[in-house]
A and B are shown apart, each in its own frame.
Chain A
Amino acid sequence: MKPLLKVDDISSFIGPFHILQGVSLEVYPGEVVVILGRNGAGKTTTLRSIVGQVPPSKGAITLDGVSLVNMPTHIAVRQGIGYVPEDYGVFDLLTVEENLALAMRQRDKPTHNRHDEVLEIFPDLRIAFRRLAMTLSGGQRQMLSIARALLNENKIILIDEPSKGLAPIVIERIQKVLLSLKKKSTIVLVEQNFALACAVGDRYYIINDGRTVLNGSIDDLIDDTALQQTHLGLMPA
């Protein structure tokens, strides 16, 4: 089987800083791949490089066989990427309804059906439909951000730290949503919350100092406490 998303040995700079120095990963259709690593390892920059916000200076990125390198962000995401950035990426001064409407790329009937499906998944958003996004809680904003990525027939969804700054009870709800998406979507998840990553992930990649250092199945990682300690700084329970 061919990978849906292939990132091949990319290097990316932010200003003078050489952040990514050899990141490679492959994502196959229908799986959830989790990118793990310590703070500042280059996880978020990897997602930003995929969507063209931080264009790689070296290496290759292909989505379904189409090269994304040097593609402007707005064109890259139109290839079928739903991106949920770490700061939620919602428009504070627009209502929930307007935020959702903006995310709909094709205003045809199937998309409208998805609109209803998405509101079924996130009932909170239906209640807050006419409220400004700035009045939503952190959890609701995260749900709105994920909901927008689900509105279109995206080939892949990139989600950056969905649990960041949220209360445990809200993380549980996000986890349930991600588990419900697992069967239908291909997802790349950057996550610091190890429990959430293990609960939803199929495979993992560990990035350290801008390089992919390890990959494998999540089940193997759960069993290997030494590896968790060495690469993720997790203390044994």
Chain B
Amino acid sequence: MTAKRWLWASYAVALILLLVLPHAIGVMTRELIGRIFILAVFGMSYDILRGYTGIINLGHAAFFGGGTYIAGIMFTRLGTSASASLLAVALAWAFAVILALVMGQFAFRNTGAGGVLACAMITLAFGEIVRHTAETFRQFTQGADGLTFAVPVIFRDRIGMYYYALLFLVVMTLLLRQFINSPAGRVLQAIRDNEQRARFLGYDVRKYKLLALVTAALAASSAGFMFALLTRFANTDLLSVQNTLNALLFTIVGGTGTLYGAIVGTAFVQLVQSYLLELRGIHEIFARWQIFFGAIYVLVVLYMPLGMVGAFLRIKGSLAYWRTSGGNHTRAGD
């Protein structure tokens, strides 16, 4: 069997396992896995920016939290009918696109040496403006206390919601993969490599960065919407910079610029977090799971700077290069 067939066979086995899984596990684990599916899309949306375009967006949680809040507010105010749900989706996407366009207009203005830092600071400011606005309009959002809401009937069944989350992950992975492999996706990777060189080829770097931001914003907002359906709860923590850092963590642990790395990273972070919390019963110190998690994070960054998927791809690439070059690494032509 060829390597490609092995790969497809392993995808098929994984998919079958994931389809059977919800019937073999408890409610909490099912909820956790559903959460991983949705947060993985949030992580992948961040990877489009950080890993594929070289943009550091510290306000990315505004898109995710915005999606969750818009779903919550719409379900609370307009009910859970199909038309209200569709309107909520449309509003969440419109919010994401408008915020991304406005944020990008300011964040991508500076093309000089300080551009990355300026972008990080401006996106942080936008993220904080959105969070502060949500805290101010408590009559809609309930502020830090959180907004609890009912969801449409078809999303109320927990096993059903697991499948929706899985379907969402599969569809979004395919769409985002298609995007990064498209000609526009290649331009984004060129921009990440070197903005100036992309300009020398005639590309309007700012326009392409906006495209990346809008795409990532739509994916994050959709993930936020699905998160609302899963958790039936929203609070302003979802809009905070800490939530953005979570997405960054998913991509760094899994491997930036790999797309699938965000899935692996999200699963790793969420499972370790959950496992460490369960250890509270053994000793009180495990209640402070962040200490252990911080240590694990430092170890991953130190010993796997490319992340889990990145390290795997590098080893795979080295082996393939070794095989094709017959072990001869001398570069001809120098």
Name A's B-contacting residues (CB within 8 A).
51, 53, 72-75, 77-78, 83, 85, 89-94, 98, 101-103, 105, 107, 124, 135-140, 148, 166-167, 170
Contacts and interface: CB of A to CB of B under 8 A. Distances in A.
Given A53-B196, A139-B334, A170-B334, A101 B186 contact: yes
B331 interface: yes
10 contacts: A51-B200, A73-B196, A74-B203, A77-B201, A89-B194, A89-B197, A91-B194, A105-B202, A166-B334, A167-B334
A98 B196 contact: no
Contact of A91 (B197, B205, B332): B197
B234 to A, nearest CB: 38
Interface in B180-207: 183, 186-187, 189-190, 192-194, 196-205
A7 B257 CA distance: 42
A102 B334 contact: no
Range of interface residues on B (Cβ < 8 Å): 20 to 34
Contact of A74 (B192, B202, B334): B202
Interface in B275-328: 321
Contact of B204 (A74, A83, A85, A138): A74
Ranked nearest first, the 6 interchain pairs of A and B with the lowest CB-CB distance are A137-B333, A139-B333, A73-B199, A91-B193, A137-B331, A89-B197
Contacts of B201: 77, 102-103, 105, 148
Nearest to B199: A73
Contacts of B204: 72, 74-75
Nearest to A92: B193
A161 B200 CA distance: 16
Contacts of B183: 101, 107
Q: Quick one: which of B189, B190, B202, B203 has the most chain A CB within 10 A?
A: B202
A103 B183 CA distance: 11
A74 B190 contact: no
A153 B173 CA distance: 38
Interface in B26-72: none
B136 to A, nearest CB: 39
A73 B196 CA distance: 9
Nearest to A158: B200
Nearest to A95: B186
